Structure 1
Amino acid sequence: MPITKEMLVQAVEKAVSHKHANFKETVELIIVLRDVNVKELGGKVRETVFLPKGRGKERKVCVVADGEMAERARQAGAHMVLTPADLQGMTKKNAKKIADTCDWVLVKTDLMAVVGRTLGPALGPRGKAPVPVPPGSDMVALMNRFKNAVLARLKDQPQVMTSIGTADMKPEDLAENALAVISAVETKLPQGVANIDKVIVKTTMGIPVEVRGV
């Protein structure tokens, strides 16, 4: 049965109805798959999803660039701007610190190779692959998009789990974000929605709530 917005709203409302922590909890979406080969699909189900209603908490977007592009990134509000000079002689410890700090790392295309050598070993294990960006890109638009982006990917288990916002957001907005993620994942599955066994919504400290029909 296709997942509808109404079904998601009901599940979200139930998931966030009780306060579980004294901090702003994240709302997570879990898509459990069936009849799929995780090893075959592992590298294929890896989608950057731009949430239509935002994340409730902006992600930290960092940029690796030089010249005019680096300046435009600073003006656009990048959390951190690194130049080739910053990468020279970078220690593993500093690379890990940057990887922990930055949620997304946008890289000027001709600098991808050096980023792969210096930051790649720290970014890879954290699931934060650098994103190549052409030199003439609109940095303001990119910043705004990636601040509200999440990564939906399949790892070693037949499920995809990612954030769709925070518990203080409207259930309708969280439902729309969830639909965007589900739609993106469906396009990468061999049989589309038929490969989705169930969909679950939960808050950081909350109990999982399965999305069901009325």
Structure 2
Amino acid sequence: MASFLRVIMASLTFTVITLSGISCQSDFDFFYFVQQWPGSYCDLKQKCCYPVTGKPAADFSIHGLWPNYNDGSYPSNCAGSSYDSTGISDLKDQLQRYWDTLSCPSGDGDKFWSHEWEKHGTCSGLDQRAYFESVLRLRNSIDLLSALQSSGIEADGGTYTLEAIEKALTQAIGHKPGLECNRDVDGQRQLYQVYVCIDTDASTLIDCPVYPSSSCSSTISFPSF
């Protein structure tokens, strides 16, 4: 009898663990698609390192596609397959162009992509290939720099109102994005990251259920790169 109960308990434990893994991978409310401005990443005290492919283009680059809950929390490091660079080797040129790394020491991006897959991608309900393809499609369809430039907002170190930046991006995207700022070496707040909300299908743009903490002031700079 005792042996029978141990088998039953072991089976139940396995079932709970398995269901927990499934829930973690699919139980979320929306995605943040996050792009960052390289000039604001590099214009900090800790500086930055260009990737081994050279200085990236002066354009917004991908930070990641992050599953989130409506209460502002998010799942992370869910049960799933480990990162396999060979599965996306044919995407590497696009990834290095749009999802480059600026962290030090210089790298080819693989460490960055591995981190994003294992922390966020494993919770997306997508397999690795579909996750990276979805991110690249979103980047190709959401051109933040062109949207800002069309409204006369240039990455020239000038200062712009937060309202003007939000308006330009909202008109281009069709939904109000979330904005995050950081501080340059002189303490000036500057445009750092833009959060666009995406439905759980990883493709449909939606109104954000909740916005990230912006840390932006009413006027912010847009540094050159």
TM-score range, shorter chain: under 0.3
Q: TM-score, normalised by structure 2?
A: 0.24
Q: State the structure with more CA Rg.
A: 2
Q: RCO (CA 8 Å, sep 6+): is it higher in 1 or 2?
A: 1
Q: TM-score, normalised by structure 1?
A: 0.25
Q: Which has the higher strand share?
A: 1
